[in-house]
Amino acid sequence: MGQILGVHFELLAEAARGGMGSVYRGRDLRTNRMVAIKVLNLSNASDHVRFERECQVLARLHHPNVVGYVAHGASPEGTRFLVQEWVDGITLSTQIQTLGLTARDAIKVAIGVSDALGAAHALGAVHRDVKPANIILDAGDPDRVKLVDFGIARMEADAGVLTRAGILVGTPSYMAPEQARGLVAITPAADVWALGCVLYEAISGRKAFAGRSPEAILAKALLHEPARLDVLAPEVSVELADFVHSMIAKRVEDRAPDGGEVARVLRQLLPTVPAGPLRKANQLETQPTRIDPQPPASAGQRGARSFAMVSVPPLEPDAPPRAPLEIKRISERYKLAVHPLDDGSVILEANEPGDAGAANIAYAAIEIQTAEQFDGAVSVFGQAYEEPLDEAIDRGADTLANVTMASMFAEVVGADPIIPVDDVIAAMLEREGVTLITTDHGRALRVSRR
């Protein structure tokens, strides 16, 4: 290749490519050492701000478990680049998908990452995108870990900067509830959550929060409790499982406060962890999650819970959030819990179980769908008594994705929108006398445009 950046950094070969640019294997001509050169495609002002912040964080963050900073700059043509140490290794993502890890090695990896996070947190930086793909095992060694990609890192002092509704910042399966909700004040506890998800996956072979859509994953992060780690991996002690589950606690105050505390606890627990078997990702999930269109036999029992999933198109930065405020007002009238997500979707949950709760969800959904300024989509779904909540959420998210496309088509032809309901909800609504119609997509609530 031979292109020179910053006078003395030679591009040799492209190593990876992403939406923001490419990473090249290169050479520092001053030292003749191999380096990683990230060449960025920055399209707007916020991208430039994030790039400068990443460079500033890395320039200050000197730690053996953080990929080393070398330099950054811009070419005469304006191409921005970041130069870091070259690490010959394998990502944790590839490791757990191919060879797998033992529980003991997973703890070693987590200690290295938590040490790196502890150093970042001491500087006031929150990584915000801790995930297996951003963790490198140098030479494949779990004792030699490098945390990479501080591209969306944020200084705690920057709360409120570069925040825009409707744009997810992070990776859904590793996003803490406060990130999913789009809260401005993101603390080191969000990184603790993400590392807890990584550790859970590395030990058990399955994600703590998984789904076929971002909406489903984020809803599970807010509402669902994953299976106990010591059930999925019997070699894990109750004490270790308890600590990992505390890392993914819904409430910030229930987690360890930062990476340093996580490292301290994991070092204490490491001697008690046997090697155990090698587990690869998803090996426990040989079949896809079952989405059964028929209600479980217990669907009519009083313990059934009712939900609605609402998609709201992202607002422009300066647009007043009239539709979300209307959703909140309607939900309060029908006594529904509101769980807003930063991608523009909202989860509504009936506080009352059984038929009455289903009716409240249905009437609220109709009002939301016909509210002024609302141009999104709504699906209504239920969790039958003793049915796993994650299965119900997957069903609701799948239906929302289908009805979102149908609503776009209905808008073009001027047809009335539909609000699909699953069989769990349908059975309860019929007992409450709520009118349902049959469509090509199944049962639905009757909606008429104003």
How much is the pLDDT for 401?
Answer: 83
21-25, 367-371, 406-410: which range is least confident on average? 406-410
Tell me if 89-272 shares its fold with 305-445: no
Q: Which CATH superfamily is domain 4-85 in?
A: Phosphorylase Kinase; domain 1 (3.30.200.20)
Q: Pick the catalytic residue: 105, 129, 191, 258?
A: 129
Domain ranges, ordered by start, for the chain: 4-85, 89-272, 305-445
Indicate the burial class of 436 (C-beta count within 10 angstroms; 0-12, 13-18, 19 or more): middle
How much is the pLDDT for 342?
Answer: 77
Residue 242 phi, psi dihedral angles, 5° rounding: -60, -40
How much is the pLDDT for 400?
Answer: 87
More confident residue, 5 or 334: 334
Q: Is it the case that residue 446 has pLDDT exceeding 90?
A: no
How much is the pLDDT for 298?
Answer: 44
Confidence band, pLDDT 50/70/90 cuts, at residue 13: very high
How much is the pLDDT for 311?
Answer: 85
63-67, 318-322, 387-391, 397-401: which range is least confident on average? 318-322
Give me the mean pLDDT over the 52-71 stretch.
92
- For 29, how many CA atoms within 13 A lie in the half-sphere containing its CB? 11
More confident residue, 89 or 2: 89
Q: Is it the case that residue 414 has pLDDT exceeding 80?
A: no
**Tens digit of each residue's pLDDT (9 = 90 or more) over 264-298:** 999 999 999 988 899 988 754 333 333 344 444 44
Question: How many Å apart are CA 279 and CA 109, to the nearest integer?
Answer: 15
How much is the pLDDT for 96?
Answer: 95
How much is the pLDDT for 7?
Answer: 80
Give me the mean pLDDT over the 324-336 stretch.
90
What's the pTM value of the predicted model, to 2 decimals?
0.86
Q: Is it the case that residue 172 has pLDDT exceeding 60?
A: yes
The closest of 297, 218, 266, 286 to 113, measured between CA atoms, is 266
Q: Please, what is the average pLDDT of the chain?
A: 85
**b/e code 64-98 from CB counts within 10 Å (16+ = b):** ebbbbbbbbeeeeeeebbbbbbbbebbbbbbbbee
> Token pair 């001697």 is at which residue?
271
Report whether CATH 1.10.510.10 matches the domain 89-272.
Answer: yes
Q: Is it the case that residue 66 has pLDDT exceeding 70?
A: yes
More confident residue, 111 or 56: 111
Is 129 a known active-site residue?
yes
How much is the pLDDT for 447?
Answer: 80
Give me the mean pLDDT over the 216-221 stretch.
92
How much is the pLDDT for 256?
Answer: 97
Q: Is it the case that residue 104 has pLDDT exceeding 80?
A: yes
**Tens digit of each residue's pLDDT (9 = 90 or more) over 224-235:** 999 999 999 999
Cα–Cα–Cα angle for 339, 343, 344, nearest 5°?
A: 65
Give me the mean pLDDT over the 207-223 stretch.
91
109-113, 186-190, 196-200: which range is least confident on average? 186-190
**Tens digit of each residue's pLDDT (9 = 90 or more) over 245-267:** 999 999 999 999 999 999 999 99
Q: Provide the CATH number for the domain formed by 305-445 in this structure.
A: 3.30.70.1230
How much is the pLDDT for 37?
Answer: 93
How much is the pLDDT for 345?
Answer: 81
Q: Is it the case that residue 69 has pLDDT exceeding 70?
A: yes
The sign one gets for the Cα dihedral 355, 356, 361, 363 is positive
